[in-house]
Amino acid sequence: MIYKNVFTSQIRRGIKLKQTLKNYSVIASVLEKANIGEVTEVKGWVKNLRKQKDLTFIDVNDGSTSQKLQIVIPKNLNTNDLTYGSSVLITGKLSKSPKGQLELVAEHVNVMGTCVVSDGYPFNPRTAHPPEYIRQFLHLRSRTNYFSAILRVRNSLTRHIHNYFESKNYLHVHTPILTSNDCEGAGEVFKIQPDNEITVKAMMQEGRDKDSVYFGTKTFLTVSGQLHQEAICRGMGNVYTLGPTFRAENSRSRLHLSEFYMLEAEIAFCDTLQNLQNVIEDMLKYLFIKTHESNANDLHIIDKEKSVLPLWVNKEFVTMTYNEAKGILGKRGLDMTDEGINKEQELALVEYCNGIPVFVIKWPKEQKSFYMKECQDDNTKVDALDLLAPITGEVVGGSLRENSYDKLKAKLPSDRLNWYLELRKFGNIPTGGFGLGLERFLQVICGVSNIKDTLPFPRWPHNCDM
């Protein structure tokens, strides 16, 4: 009410919200509106160029869509600097080609940035460069059809995630990046310290040791926002977060990054794994369908096969216990060790389920984190789940949270987590939650085998170049 009053009075005083308009037309909207006859200015990069006797044809793309706008340039305009890869500003009139395709007949052509391919530009027109090749040029790869299509899918996916949770009344919270807890307890944290010798020396004189010199405690980059989410969930109900997550794993696999994005949700009053599985399954199917709706053309560019919705979108996900998984793998000669299920075994389980994602539930306690709830019918197991999908294997990890004060106290890894224990002391509720690796899910959606192709600037051991 108060806000409304202030707003109306601002309008009365003539204060209007300024609309920031781009001074050029975005190609996605030019193609969509197709206003034949309209004078239009576009800016972008030349993707193809064909010179004929009287006319030059170029295809221009500005990143807003996978599609290109064809520009027809009459002979009288100077096209000397115009090459594949150059950046251009073109004004002209929208028209229809003899084949009925929308095109822009140029009246002015301005080459803003030349691109001499023989000077070392790594890409060529009409060439499907393999992803491993494109990945060598992190700073230039946004110019390629393949990589820009993936980034557009990523952009839409994050939007759909926020829409999904908003429609379900979840609160979006920002959990901290700097933290004093190693949530998963797997020892994969990056330690944080000031890089300034003078600051460090001065602070050490105050009697602190080097590891905790700045914050007074050892501090890390977050491996998960879960524990913080649990605190908010136990006061405000369902919450989610989508943020950067860091893990110092010594793995250069096609599935691991040192910095990745994790979507984490914590569900209030959740007391069965089935409840948690329902949320995950509903959300993943929604996100899959929505990205296929919003980015069909991009998905087609990335992988023609993946532009068709997979059959599992209309099927129920499979559920099996850890023990059942062990039996299935044993029969296939893939015996499990005490370490758990490895990547080859995860993918074999998905194959066993005909490519349908599979929840593996009820895990041995010693393989999972301290916060997971002990199974009611078996105190050697916890109510944990991993969701395995084609291409990546594990894509989601989650659990019910131990909400018995005494049981949690017995498993608490450090006194530093007394605040977490105390959540069980006052107005406690049962909760459960999960984490979805955004990049791994993009691999599944796009059919991309290497995780390094799903984000602009990947970091992995020995690689933090840009």
Q: Which residues of this protein are in contact with Mg ion, per CB under 5 A?
A: 397
In angstroms, give the least distance from the CB of 265 to ligand 4AD. 7
With CB cut-offs between 5 and 8 Å by kind, which of Mg ion, ligand 4AD, none does residue 184 bind?
Answer: ligand 4AD
Copy the structure tokens of residue 77: 């305009």
Residue nearest to Mg ion (CB): 397
Task: Please say which residue, 58 or 189, places its beta carbon nearer to ligand 4AD.
Answer: 189
Nearest approach, Cβ of residue 386 and ligand 4AD (Å): 7
Q: Residue 124: enclosing H or E segment and its boundaries?
A: none
Query: From ligand 4AD, Mg ion, none, which one binds at residue 183 (CB under 5 to 8 Å depending on kind)?
Result: ligand 4AD
Q: Determine how many CB atoms are found less than 10 A away from the CB of residue 83.
A: 18
Nearest to Mg ion of 397, 432 (CB atom):
397
Smallest separation (angstroms) from ligand 4AD to the CB of 413: 14
**Looking at beta carbons only, is 357 or 397 nearer to Mg ion?**
397
Which partner, ligand 4AD, Mg ion, none, binds residue 453 by CB below 5 to 8 Å per kind?
A: none
**Which of 216, 235 has the CB closer to ligand 4AD?**
235
Cα 28 vs. chain centroid, distance in angstroms? 23
The one of ligand 4AD, Mg ion, none whose footprint includes residue 382, by CB under 5 to 8 A per kind, is none
Beta bridge partners of 102: 96
Supply the DSSP symbol for 283: H
Minimal distance, residue 312 CB to Mg ion, in Å: 21
Number of CB atoms found within 10 A of residue 287's CB: 20
239-246 vs 171-172, strand pairing mode: parallel
Least distance from C-beta 397 to Mg ion, angstroms? 3
| Residue 121 burial class via C-beta count within 10 angstroms: exposed 0-12, middle 13-18, buried 19 and up | middle
Q: Minimum CB separation from ligand 4AD for residue 405, in Å? A: 20
Q: Tell me whether residue 156 or residue 454 sits nearer to ligand 4AD (CB atom).
A: 454
Query: From the CB of residue 238, how many other CB atoms can be counted at a distance below 10 Å?
Result: 21
How far is the C-alpha of 23 from the C-alpha of 45, rounded, in Å? 17
Reading phi first (left if > 0) and then psi (alpha if -120 to 50, else beta), residue 430 is in: beta
Among ligand 4AD, Mg ion, none, what binds residue 435 when CB lies within 5 to 8 Å by partner kind?
A: ligand 4AD
Paired tokens of 266: 């914590």
- 393 binding partner (options ligand 4AD, Mg ion, none; Cβ < 5 to 8 Å by kind): none
Residues in the site for ligand 4AD, rule: CB under 6 A? 183-184, 224, 226, 247, 249, 256-257, 260, 262, 264, 394-398, 433-435, 437, 439-440
Among residues 104, 129, 248, the alpha carbon closest in space to that of 182 is found at 248
Of 62 and 439, CB closest to ligand 4AD: 439
Which entry of Mg ion, ligand 4AD, none binds 458, CB below 5 to 8 A by partner kind?
none
Query: From ligand 4AD, Mg ion, none, which one binds at residue 264 (CB under 5 to 8 Å depending on kind)?
Result: ligand 4AD
Q: Shortest approach of ligand 4AD to residue 37 CB, angstroms?
A: 50
* 388-410 burial: b if 16+ Cβ within 10 Å, else e: bbbbbbbbbbbbbbbbeeeebee
Residue 358: name the closest of 327, 393, 334 by CA: 393
Q: Which does residue 260 bind out of ligand 4AD, Mg ion, none, counting CB within 5 to 8 angstroms by kind?
A: ligand 4AD
Exposed e or buried b for every residue in 36-49, given b needs 16+ CB within 10 A? eeeebbbbbbbbeb
Which of Mg ion, ligand 4AD, none does residue 437 bind (CB under 5 to 8 Å by kind)? ligand 4AD
Closest residue by beta carbon to ligand 4AD? 397
Measure Cα distances from 241 to 248, 420, 437 in Å: 21, 18, 12
- What is the nearest approach in angstroms of Mg ion to the Cβ of residue 256? 12
Q: Which DSSP string corresponds to 367-399?
A: GS-TTBPEETTEEEEEEEEEEEETTTEEEEEEE
Closest to ligand 4AD by CB, 67 or 251? 251
Shortest reach from residue 86's CB to ligand 4AD, in Å: 37
Nearer to ligand 4AD, 145 or 345 (CB): 345
Q: Measured from the CB atom, is 27 or 276 closer to ligand 4AD?
A: 276
Q: What is the spatial distance between Cα 383 and Cα 346, in angstroms, rounded to a whole number?
A: 19
The residues, ordered by sequence, that sit 6+ positions from 463 with a Cβ below 8 Å of its Cβ are none
Nearest CB to Mg ion, comparing residues 368 and 452? 368
CB of residue 340 to ligand 4AD, shortest distance in Å = 11
Strands 102-113 and 87-96: antiparallel
